[in-house]
Amino acid sequence: MKEQNKFQALWVLFWTFAKMGVMTFGGGMAMLPILQREVVDSKGWATEEELTDYYAIGQCTPGIIAVNTATFIGQKYGGISGGIVATLGVVFPSLVIISILAGLISNFADLMWVKNAFAGIQVCVCVLIFNAVVKLLKKSVVDKRTAVIFVVVLAGGVFLKVSPVWFVIGAALTGIILKNLEAKRA
How far is Cα 12 from Cα 104, in angstroms, rounded to an integer?
Answer: 32
Q: How far out from the chain centre does Cα 125 lie?
A: 13
> Do 83 and 173 fall within a single domain?
no
> Do 89 and 70 fall within a single domain?
yes
> Do 115 and 147 fall within a single domain?
no
User: Is 17 strand, coil or helix?
Assistant: helix
Strands (E), 111-186: none
Please give the chain's pLDDT, 186 residues, in tens: 356 688 899 999 999 999 888 877 666 677 778 888 888 899 999 888 888 888 888 777 777 778 888 898 999 988 999 999 999 999 898 888 888 877 777 777 778 888 888 888 888 888 888 888 888 888 889 888 889 889 999 999 999 998 888 998 998 898 889 888 888 887
Containing domain of residue 27, as a range? Answer: 2-138
> Do 149 and 119 fall within a single domain?
no
- Identify the burial level of 74 via C-beta atoms within 10 angstroms of its C-beta, where 0-12 means exposed, 13-18 middle and 19 or more buried: buried
> Do 133 and 81 fall within a single domain?
yes
Question: How much of the chain is in helix, strand and coil states, percent to nearest 5?
Answer: 85, 0, 15
Number of domains the chain is built from: 2
Instruction: Compute the CA torsion angle 174, 178, 184, 186 (nearest 10 deg).
Output: -160
Contacts of 169 (CB under 8 A, 6+ apart): 60
pLDDT at 2: 58
Task: Tell me which amino acid residue 175 is.
Answer: G
How far is Cα 185 from Cα 179, in angstroms, rounded to an integer?
Answer: 10
pLDDT at 158: 92
pLDDT at 28: 64
> Do 154 and 118 fall within a single domain?
no
> Do 98 and 186 fall within a single domain?
no
> Do 80 and 169 fall within a single domain?
no
> Do 26 and 49 fall within a single domain?
yes
> Do 118 and 160 fall within a single domain?
no
> Do 120 and 179 fall within a single domain?
no
How far is Cα 78 from Cα 68, in angstroms, rounded to an integer?
Answer: 15
> Do 78 and 28 fall within a single domain?
yes
pLDDT at 87: 93
